[in-house]
Each structure stands twice: as structure tokens, then as C-alpha cells.
Amino acid sequence: MKIIMLGAPGAGKGTQAKKIAEKYQIPHISTGDIFRANIKNGTELGKKAKTYMDQGLLVPDELVCDLVVDRVKQEDCKNGYILDGFPRTIPQAESLDEALGQMGESLDYAINVDVPDEHIVNRMSGRRACVGCGATYHIVYAPTKKEGVCDVCGAELILRDDDKPETVQKRLSVYHEQTQPLIDYYKGKGILKDVDGTKDMDVVFQAITDILGA
Ligand code: AP5
Ligand code: MG
Ligand code: ZN
């Protein structure tokens, strides 16, 4: 099963992708997580990506496409995968389609987690990310057992640099301009599925599993 997640920043793509990956035993590939891991490790890619990410801008397509295409060709992606945060522009979608076409494959589902802008800023300001393992929480909607400490690995939790309200506004406008057109792109391919992302996390997950099947 090859799935991509669409949705505004903070719509809950990562939250749902993680649950889907667990249930269907497929890799969860998040380009945002890949860039953040590179930043943490001080790689060249990380240094380049950071300058864009901190401004709420997209990292240029040429830094993203090859990385993802290489990743989905790996052995563990044979039975499918879930892409979270890619594609994010029409050229990225086209380059993925082209690469899959060359392998004789195609995507099965594009799941659009629909959340209006007015909910987003509130969600992002409450999000906390683990500096150790990258796990994501929310101070109200998904709290940790012990305040400020990751349930999974015990490391410290932080507010992501790009989750400050002014950067979130920029990310939202970039989303509307560059990523939202993908909804029509995948509608045209007949694989778009909308879910209401304003509902509780478990309700959203149920809606997604109804689409994907048991
Ligand atoms: P990325 O990390 O992908 O960020 P994003 O798309 O902005 O999305 P987020 O991760 O912020 O949100 P999410 O939808 O995963 O929500 P989450 O589940 O965490 O990308 C970061 C940056 O990297 C980009 O800005 C760009 O610069 C660069 N980049 C990445 N990919 C790229 C690409 N392909 N091309 C170019 N540049 C790229 O949930 C948010 C919060 O809400 C959490 O606290 C969560 O607990 C809570 N929550 C989730 N669901 C619910 C619910 N149903 N009810 C209540 N709270 C909920
Ligand atoms: Mg995410
Ligand atoms: Zn952790």
C-alpha cells in the first residue's frame, strides 16, 4: 500500500502517518523528520535545509526529490510506505510519479487531512517535540505522562523553531500557494480521499482505516 498524506502544517499528518505505519507495518517517511535529523547531525543537507525551514519556506525541490525517490526504492518499501510531507509541490508530485512509473508502480491513496487555518495556530503553539527521538505531543490534546519529558525516551521536549506563530502564518500561506494545488492533482488521478482533521485523533484514524480497509 503506497500512501501519501496531504494537509496543512499541523493538520495531523505526522500523528496519523505514525499510526498507519504501525497498523499496516509499512515505513513512515517524513521529509520534515529527515531534514530535522540532518540539522541535528550538522550535515550539509541539514545546513541548507535549515535556512529555508526557519523562515517557513519550502526547501528547494532539487534537495528533496532525489532523496525521496532513493528512499522508496529501498528494500523495506517493497510492500508499501506512507509519505508524510512529500510531495509538497506539483514538480515534486510529477517527479514521484515519473520515478514510480519507471518501476511499474503507482500510488494507491492520497489522504487529505482537512483542517481550516483557524485551528492551526492553536495546535502548533501547543505542540512539543522530543529532542531525542522526535516524538510529537500536544500540551492539551496529547500530553506526556510527565510534563516536559518524552514518554518514549525520557529526553527533553521543545517547541519547534518553526512553530512560532509568525512562522506558522508563513507556512500556512506557502501551503495554500504551493501545496494545496496537489489536492486537485490527486483528485484528477482518482486517488484523493478527504478526512475531517478537526475531529479527535482516534476518530480521524478510524476514518482513515475505513478508507484503507482492515
Ligand atoms: P514538516 O515537518 O512536514 O511540517 P509541516 O507540514 O508543516 O507539518 P507538521 O509536521 O508541522 O504538522 P503535521 O501535519 O505533521 O501535524 P502533527 O501530527 O505534528 O516540514 C517542516 C519543514 O520542512 C517545511 O516547512 C519545509 O521547510 C521543509 N520540508 C519538509 N518536506 C518538504 C518538501 N517535501 N519539500 C520542501 N520542503 C519540505 O500535529 C500537530 C499538533 O497537533 C501536534 O501537537 C499533535 O499532537 C496535535 N494534533 C494532531 N492531530 C490532532 C487532532 N485530531 N486533534 C487535536 N490535536 C491534534
Ligand atoms: Mg509532521
Ligand atoms: Zn523521545
100 falls within a domain? yes
% of the chain surpassing 90 pLDDT: 93
Give the ranges where 156-200 is alpha helix by DSSP (H).
165-174, 181-188
159 falls within a domain? no
179 falls within a domain? yes
| The length of the chain, given as a count of residues | 214
96 falls within a domain? yes
143 falls within a domain? no
Decide if pLDDT at 162 tops 80. yes
78 falls within a domain? yes
* pLDDT band with cut points at 50, 70 and 90 for residue 87: very high
**What mean pLDDT is predicted for residues 96-105?**
96
Domain that holds residue 171: 2-116+167-212
Name the amino acid, one letter, at 109: Y
Decide if pLDDT at 122 tops 90. no
What pLDDT does residue 141 have? 93
**What mean pLDDT is predicted for residues 142-146?**
96
73 falls within a domain? yes
Decide if pLDDT at 204 tops 90. yes
What pLDDT does residue 49 have? 97
Pocket of ligand 1 (CB under 6 A): 7, 9-15, 31-32, 35, 52-53, 57-59, 64, 85-86, 88, 92, 123, 126-127, 136-138, 141-142, 162, 171, 197, 200-201, 204
127 in catalytic set: yes
88 in catalytic set: yes
**In angstroms, what is the span from residue 32 Cα to ligand 3's centroid?**
16
Decide if pLDDT at 112 tops 90. yes
- Structural domain count of the chain: 1
164 in catalytic set: no
* pLDDT band with cut points at 50, 70 and 90 for residue 179: very high
What pLDDT does residue 105 have? 95
* pLDDT band with cut points at 50, 70 and 90 for residue 161: confident
**What mean pLDDT is predicted for residues 66-72?**
95
162 falls within a domain? no
- Closest alpha carbon to 50 in 36, 60, 64: 36
Cβ contact 159:128 at 8 Å: yes
Cβ contact 29:193 at 8 Å: no
Strand partners, 84: 5, 30
* pLDDT tens, position by position, 25-53: 999 999 999 999 999 999 999 999 999 99
- The CATH number for 186's domain is 3.40.50.300
Output the nine-digit C-alpha cell for 210. Answer: 475505513
What pLDDT does residue 214 have? 74
**In angstroms, what is the span from residue 85 Cα to ligand 2's centroid?**
7
**What mean pLDDT is predicted for residues 117-132?**
91
pTM: 0.95
